Amino acid sequence: DQQVKQNSPSLSVQEGRISILNCDYTNSMFDYFLWYKKYPAEGPTFLISISSIKDKNEDGRFTVFLNKSAKHLSLHIVPSQPGDSAVYFCAASNPWGGSQGNLIFGKGTKLSVKP
């Protein structure tokens, strides 16, 4: 049963516009969330994170919003650039570790930014 879900496998956006990538989670005990970006033939790279004590974290063009009551987070990229085209993974920190490891990943959303 997926505890971290990214329901949109792909998203296409025009350059200069906003990209919004969504992520839902099921376990209210998750207390830290991360976004990773992955280009083809490379490993995922850390992009931005948010603690559950906050509802927003911003880093340049990237902002992550957390809605704990809805168990939902989103990554906003403004303005989107063609170089942002990649697969974006949402991950939740699993404080108990164990068989799921300390990070539980969604399946990813492939973002395409068109010039």
Partner 1 sequence: DSGVTQTPKHLITATGQRVTLRCSPRSGDLSVYWYQQSLDQGLQFLIQYYNGEERAKGNILERFSAQQFPDLHSELNLSSLELGDSALYFCASSVGHDNEQFFGPGTRLTVL
Contacts with partner 1, residue ranges (CB under 8 A): 4, 9, 32, 34, 36, 41-46, 49, 89, 93, 97-108
Looking at the Cβ atoms of 16 and 58, the one nearer to partner 1 is 58
Q: Least CB distance from residue 107 to partner 1, whole Å?
A: 4
In the chain the beta strands, taken as DSSP E runs, fall at 4-5, 10-14, 19-25, 32-38, 45-51, 56-59, 62-67, 72-77, 86-93, 103-105, 109-114
Minimum CB distance to partner 1, residue 6 (Å): 8
Cβ proximity to partner 1: between 20 and 48 the closer is 48
Nearest residue to 23 via CA among 78, 86, 66, 80: 66
